[in-house]
């Protein structure tokens, strides 16, 4: 978990910052989806090759090892299918983060008609605003 506080002079600055965050997450999600598509092709190729080798009587060409630590799993020589499953799960998380940021921005835009100069402190947890303090 990453937590931090950002300070803004007004709501416009906060909205601009949220728009930048949304753009960054969209860009990253796009890169992630391209990597997932590449892994899908690779996983399909591995599956085809594995099926072909099994027909020839060759079993388990790929040796994979997994090391489980307390809070971390290390996979040595993962298959493309394993990587694909992990990246798809991560892409879902990033997509939920994007949706959350967009919803927060939409809700805050309702307040944008109020043009006051006030110190705004935002507590972020994992890149998502969790609390906003407006000090005037």
pLDDT in tens, 72-124: 988 888 888 899 999 999 999 999 999 999 999 999 998 877 777 789 999 99
Pick the CATH number of 3-135 from 1.10.287, 3.40.50, 1.20.1250, 1.10.1760: 1.10.287
pLDDT tens-place string over residues 3-55: 999 999 988 999 999 999 999 999 999 999 999 999 999 999 988 888 888 88
Buried-exposed string 46-74: b where 16+ CB fall within 10 A, e elsewhere: beeebeeeeeeeeeeeeeeeeeeeeeeee
Residue boundaries of the structural domains of the chain = 3-135
Q: Is 28 exposed, middle or buried (0-12, 13-18, 19+ CB in 10 A)?
A: middle
Average pLDDT, the chain: 91
Bridge partners for 36 per DSSP: none
Does residue 126 have a pLDDT over 90? yes
């Amino acid at each position: 978990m990453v937590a931090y506080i950002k300070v803004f002079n007004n709501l416009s600055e906060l909205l601009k910052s949220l728009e930048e965050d949304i753009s960054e997450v969209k860009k990253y999600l796009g890169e992630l989806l391209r990597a997932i598509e590449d892994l899908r092709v690779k996983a399909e190729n591995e599956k085809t090759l594995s099926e072909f080798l099994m027909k020839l009587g060759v079993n388990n060409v790929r040796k994979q090892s997994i090391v489980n630590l307390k809070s971390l799993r290390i996979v040595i020589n993962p298959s493309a299918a394993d990587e694909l499953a992990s990246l798809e799960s991560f892409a879902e998380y990033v997509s939920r983060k994007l949706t959350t940021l967009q919803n927060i921005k939409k809700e805050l835009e309702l307040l944008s008609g109020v043009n006051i100069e006030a110190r705004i402190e935002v507590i972020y947890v994992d890149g998502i605003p969790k609390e906003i303090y407006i000090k005037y």
